[in-house]
């Protein structure tokens, strides 16, 4: 889009234009009366979305229109009697086909929005269709509104849901069921609405139908999880009871069971969290669109709002309850696992204390043995030292030195023993001081 002129030389945010355009990217359509409309919602991934755009180009070529070059959020093309609108949403793409070249009278669903499409084009749309329905718009200002038995026949005898929305300016009939052609059906009688008002009403009805189906996508997941969730809840209760009352506990076995339960819960959360969150968002959108309808009751029939409140809201509550149970079970497993870890840590601390006490006892025994060995060492060293002194005295005596060998040898015995004992004790104290200093240094480093 061409950037608007900025005569003041201001520095504009690069996203400013996109933010302005975002509010106008999906305008309400202007729908005449009468008209035949078909609405499709197709779930697709990013690759299928690109394929859909290429497929859309073939429709432009078929009707002789210039082909769009860039894929956008919303396309609106007018091919004369057929108008086509394609919108990209987060999980799905919608197609709206509006056929304006019709005449009133007869079965309003004999002609649909698909009638002008080229043969085979619809079947080749990439993706999976989640919602498909026809909307037949009749002008009640030109013809009288049909009686209920005839209207019911248009819906193949199914139970009708109907109301007078927009404060009675229109009448809407539907069944919220699939009919023999595989499509849903809506019949709108325009009493006194302009084409713009009718376009807004029709858009709201189409969004209600699409969003309610998208909202219900998580219900099978909730129903699949719930039975196992109940069994898992009982298993956790058994583990907790065993942990509270058993005299002897196999911590490793219980932790293994808790790990298996936690893995199952996380797997369910990974599969269901996004779907449940999407359900709540779609439900809020449905409720918002219902409020905008401003319905008046048609005697004897449920309004669209009453039908949704009675059928859709309980399904959403089921999904919410399942989601809450998953979260609660996850928290409880975490708490029990934490208790188990605390129990194991206390057990390890107790074992460490016993081990330290045993090591302390062994150290005392080793110290006593060391003292004994030190005494024997003093005796042995003194013995060999006195032996050396004896050899020295004999050498001196034999060389002519006059001395009393026995007296000197006897006096040297206590002297040698005293010196050896003193030296050994000194060495012992030195190493003990080194050990104490090293322990004090390590303790200071831990404090720092």
Out of 17-26, 147-156, 201-210, least confident range: 17-26
For residue range 307-316, what is the model confidence (pLDDT) as tens digits? Answer: 988 889 999 9
Q: Note the pLDDT tens digit of each residue in 28-39.
A: 889 998 999 999
pTM of this prediction? 0.74
Whether pLDDT at 14 is above 90? no
Q: What are phi and psi of 222, to 5 degrees?
A: -65, -40
What is the arithmetic mean of pLDDT over 199-210? 94
Looking at residue 6, what is its pLDDT?
66
Q: Which of 208, 203, 176 is nearest to 98 (CA)?
A: 203
Specify the pairing of strand 74-78 against strand 82-88.
Answer: antiparallel
H or E stretch at 187:
strand 184-190
Average pLDDT of the chain to the nearest whole number = 86
More confidently predicted of 104 and 127: 127
Weakest-pLDDT range from 83-87, 214-218, 219-223, 377-381? 377-381
pLDDT at position 424: 79
- Asked whether the predicted pLDDT for residue 186 surpasses 90, the reply is yes
Asked if omega into 34 is within 30° of 0 (cis), the reply is yes
pLDDT at 3: 55
Instruction: Give the pLDDT band of residue 392 (cuts 50, 70, 90).
Output: confident
- Say if residue 216's pLDDT is above 70: yes
Contact criterion met (CB below 8 Å) for 21 and 74:
no
Q: List the single range of 40-54, 255-269, 397-411 with lowest mean pLDDT.
A: 397-411
Contact (Cβ atoms closer than 8 angstroms) between residue 15 and residue 22: no
Range in 122-131, 181-190, 356-365 the model is least confident about? 356-365
Quote the DSSP letter at residue 34.
S
Least confident of 20-24, 133-137, 199-203, 276-280: 20-24
The predicted pLDDT at position 4 comes to 59
Report the pLDDT value the prediction gives residue 35, as an integer from 0 to 100. Answer: 93
Q: Is the pLDDT of residue 272 over 50?
A: yes
Indicate the burial class of 320 (C-beta count within 10 angstroms; 0-12, 13-18, 19 or more): middle
| Confidence at 104, pLDDT banded by 50, 70, 90 | confident
Q: Does 246 score more than 80 pLDDT? A: no
The mean-pLDDT minimum among 38-47, 172-181, 244-253 falls in 244-253
Task: Identify the pLDDT of residue 371.
Answer: 66
Q: Give the lowest-confidence range in 113-117, 242-246, 328-332.
A: 242-246
pLDDT number for residue 1: 47
Are 178 and 156 in contact by the 8 Å Cβ rule? The answer is: no
Number of H helices and number of E strands within the chain? Answer: 9, 9
Q: For residue range 53-78, list pLDDT tens digits in order.
A: 999 999 999 998 999 888 888 888 99
Instruction: Report whether pLDDT(154) > 80.
Output: yes
Residue with more model confidence, 23 or 115: 115
> Would you state the pLDDT for residue 189?
92
Average pLDDT, integer, range 393-417? 81
State percent of the chain over pLDDT 70.
Answer: 95
- What is the radius of gyration, based on Cα positions, of the chain? 46
The pLDDT of residue 126 is above 90: yes
The pLDDT assigned to 13 comes to 83
């Amino acid at each position: 889009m061409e950037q608007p002129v900025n005569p003041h030389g201001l520095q504009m945010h690069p996203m400013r234009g996109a933010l302005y355009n975002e509010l106008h990217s999906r305008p309400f359509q202007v729908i005449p009366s009468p008209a035949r409309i078909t609405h499709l919602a197709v779930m697709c991934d990013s690759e299928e979305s690109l394929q859909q755009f290429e497929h859309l180009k073939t429709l432009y070529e078929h009707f002789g229109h210039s082909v769009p070059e860039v894929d956008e959020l919303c396309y609106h093309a007018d091919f004369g009697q057929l108008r086509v609108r394609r919108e990209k949403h987060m999980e799905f793409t919608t197609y709206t086909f509006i056929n304006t070249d019709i005449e009133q009278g007869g079965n309003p669903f004999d002609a649909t929005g698909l009638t002008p499409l080229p043969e085979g084009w619809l079947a080749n749309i990439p993706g999976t269709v989640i919602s498909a329905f026809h909307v037949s718009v009749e002008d009640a200002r030109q013809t009288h509104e049909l009686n209920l038995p005839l209207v019911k026949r248009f819906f193949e005898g199914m139970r009708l849901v109907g109301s007078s929305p927009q404060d009675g300016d229109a009448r809407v009939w539907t069944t919220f069921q699939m009919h023999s052609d595989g499509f849903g059906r809506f019949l709108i009688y325009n009493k006194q609405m302009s084409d713009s008002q009718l376009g807004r009403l029709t858009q709201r009805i189409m969004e209600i139908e699409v969003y309610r189906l998208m909202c219900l996508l998580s219900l099978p997941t909730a129903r699949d999880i719930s039975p196992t969730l109940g069994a898992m809840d009982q298993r956790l209760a058994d583990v907790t009871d065993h942990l509270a009352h058993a005299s002897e506990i196999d911590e490793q076995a219980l932790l293994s069971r808790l790990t298996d339960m936690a893995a199952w819960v996380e797997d369910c959360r990974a599969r269901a969290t996004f779907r449940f969150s999407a359900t709540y968002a779609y439900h809020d959108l449905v409720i918002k669109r219902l409020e905008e309808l401003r319905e008046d009751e048609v005697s004897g029939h449920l309004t669209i709002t009453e039908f949704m409140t009675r059928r859709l809201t309980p399904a959403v509550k089921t999904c919410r309850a399942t989601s809450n149970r998953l979260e609660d079970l996850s928290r409880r497993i975490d708490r029990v696992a934490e208790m188990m870890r605390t129990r194991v840590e206390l057990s390890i601390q107790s074992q460490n204390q016993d081990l330290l006490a045993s090591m302390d006892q062994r150290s005392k025994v080793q110290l006593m043995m060391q003292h004994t060995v030190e005494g024997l060492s003093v005796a042995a060293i003194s013995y060999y030292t006195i032996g050396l002194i004896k050899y020295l005295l004999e050498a001196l005596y034999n060389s002519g030195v006059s001395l009393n060998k026995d007296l000197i040898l006897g006096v040297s015995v206590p002297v040698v023993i005293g010196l050896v004992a003193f030296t050994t004790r000194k060495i012992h104290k030195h190493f003990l001081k080194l050990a104490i200093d090293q322990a004090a240094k390590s303790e200071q480093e831990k404090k720092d």
